[in-house]
Structure 1
Amino acid sequence: MLELNINNETSRLTAVVLGSALSNGPTPKPEEAYDPKSLEHILAGTYPHESDMINEMDSFLKVLKKYNVTVFRPENIENYNQIFARDIGFVIGDVFVKSNILPDRERELDAIQYVINQINPIKVVRPPEEVHIEGGDVMLWNDYIFIGTYKGSDYKYYITARTNKEGVQYIKNLFPNKIVKEFDLVKSKIEARDNALHLDCCFQPVGIDKGIIYKSGFREEADYLFLVNLFGKENLFHLTRDEMYNMNSNVFSIDANVVVSERNFTRLNNWLRQNDFIVEEIPYAEIAKQEGLLRCSTLPLIRKIT
């Protein structure tokens, strides 16, 4: 049995699901794009090649193995994108929540069923159909559960709006002892520089008291100020619009002092080192063309209790 334990984003990781780029399939047609950044690269002829994405994920795997993390991979689905494991489920405490994802992606959950079978079945839940929630919008910070959402009346018209108000309420009901804080995110169907697809596209904690943030990813300044007040402005690395576009907030913590980051994130990586982090730099820029990066590629199962 897997004894799940996830209460924050940065405690020592011991077990994780890492997505896969094997048999990723052909370049999607424009009408098949799930987000504006993928669409941009499809139209430009710069959509990533499978071989490059496999190499990038292999680099990530090597770093995880370096720190003795147990890594599960999804069973292979021919000609299908299985990179972004964060979308299909997430762990809060010792509970595994299956996401209600876009219907076309249901097979991705089946591909990790062998992992779910190792979890106590009473600790595995599936929200009702009207509840929309994806792991990229769910972020744990000890007593807090941060949830990205979109509160616009046009929610149903946005394929980039992935977590609804029913999703927020579901988590509140499931974890009544946690402080659930929702954040209304900026969404765009056509401009990736103005689209916070998930909360981890515009914010993520690192270490024990620091974070990476993009102010304009929040529709309400009060949501941004909540995080500034909680973490302290001096502890937050503020992203530019282009850095947000390139997914600088979507790094991944293996430990409170170890962060895996894209090798081209020069300004961020320097800041992390200046704040005594070990930065494991890897190539991941091709995968980033699909509006997802390192955090998106992972589904953490167990972090050590601190």
Structure 2
Amino acid sequence: MLELNIKNETSRLRAVVLGTAESNGPTPKVEDCYDPKSIEHVIAGTYPKEEDMIQEMEAVAAVFKKYGVKVYRPEVIKDCNQIFSRDIAFVIDNKMIRANILPNREEEVEAIDYIWNQVETNNRIILPEECHVEGGDVMPWNDYIFIGTYSGDDYPDYITARTNTDAVIAIQELFPEKTVKAFELRKSNTNAKDNALHLDCCFQPMGKDKAILHKNGFLVESEYEWLLNFFGKDNVFEITKDEMYNMNSNVFSISEDVIISEQNFTRLNTWLREQGFTVEEVPYAEIAKQEGLLRCSTMPLIRD
């Protein structure tokens, strides 16, 4: 059995699911894309190639190996994009919660059944059908669970709105001893620079008390201010619209001291090193074209 344990985003990582770019399938048609950034690259003819994405993911796997992290991979489904393992399920404490994701991504979930089946039965959680949630919107942070959501009446119009109020309530009921804090995110089906696909596209905690933030990703200024005050201005690295577009907030922590980041994030990586972090730089710019990066393609199972 798998003894799941995830209390926060930065404790020492021991086991993780890393997605796969193998048999990723042909470049999608515009109407089959789930986000504005992928559409941009399909139209421009710059959509990432499978072999480039495989190399990028292997670079991450090598970093995990260096730090002695046990890595699980999804079973490969022919011609299916399985890079973003964070979308399909997530762990809080000792529970694995299956994400209710876009219906045409159901088979991605089945590809990790062999992991799901190693979890004690009463710790496998399937939320009611009306609860929409993806792991990119859910961040356990010790006594808190931060959740990105969109509660506008036009929720159904946004393919980029992935987590609804029903899911926020359901997660609060699952973890009554924790404080669930929801944040309204800015959504756009057409403009990637105005679209916070998930909470981890505009916010991520690091170390013990630091965070990356992008103000424009939040619809309600007071919710952004709350995070700014929670971490403290001096501990927050504020990213620009272009940096958010390039997924600068979507790095991934192996521990409170070690962060995997994209090699082109010069400003961020410099700041992280100034704060005393070890930064493991990897190439991930091709995968970033699908509006996801390091946090999106990893699903932590066990942290110390």
State TM-score, norm by structure 2: 1.00
What's the counterpart of residue 53 of structure 1? 53
1:162 aligns with 2:170: no
What's the counterpart of residue 218 of structure 1? 218
**SS at structure 1 position matched to 2:254:** strand
Question: What whole-Å deviation, never above 9, does each CA across 1:88-134 have from its counterpart, x for those lacking one?
Answer: 00001000000000010010111000011111111001001100000
Equivalents in 2 of 1:276, 1:132: separation in Å?
38
Q: Which runs of 4+ in 1 moved over 3 A?
A: none
Question: What whole-Å deviation, never above 9, does each CA across 1:232-264 have from its counterpart, x for those lacking one?
Answer: 011000000000000000000000000000000
What's the counterpart of residue 147 of structure 2? 147
What's the counterpart of residue 285 of structure 2? 285
**SS at structure 2 position matched to 1:264:** coil
Question: What whole-Å deviation, never above 9, does each CA across 1:160-219 have from its counterpart, x for those lacking one?
Answer: 000000010010111110000000000000000000000000000000000000001000
Equivalents in 2 of 1:32, 1:129: separation in Å?
23
Question: What whole-Å deviation, never above 9, does each CA across 1:46-98 have from its counterpart, x for those lacking one?
Answer: 00000000000000000011000000000010011000000000001000000
Q: What is the CA distance between 1:151 and its match in structure 2?
A: 1.6
Q: What is the CA distance between 1:153 and its match in structure 2?
A: 1.1
What's the counterpart of residue 275 of structure 1? 275
1:191 aligns with 2:191: yes
1:2-21 residue pairs with structure 2 within 5 A? 2-21=2-21
Aligned residues: 304
**SS at structure 1 position matched to 2:139:** strand
Equivalents in 2 of 1:82, 1:15: separation in Å?
18
1:62 aligns with 2:73: no
Q: What is the CA distance between 1:19 and its match in structure 2?
A: 0.1
Equivalents in 2 of 1:80, 1:14: separation in Å?
27
**SS at structure 2 position matched to 1:255:** coil
What's the counterpart of residue 110 of structure 1? 110
Equivalents in 1 of 2:145, 2:79: separation in Å?
35
What's the counterpart of residue 254 of structure 1? 254
State TM-score, norm by structure 1: 0.99
How high is the sequence identity, in percent, across the aligned residues? 65
Equivalents in 2 of 1:213, 1:140: separation in Å?
16
Equivalents in 1 of 2:301, 2:222: separation in Å?
32
Q: What is the CA distance between 1:140 and its match in structure 2?
A: 1.0
Equivalents in 1 of 2:73, 2:265: separation in Å?
26
What's the counterpart of residue 31 of structure 2? 31
Unaligned runs of 5+ in 1: none
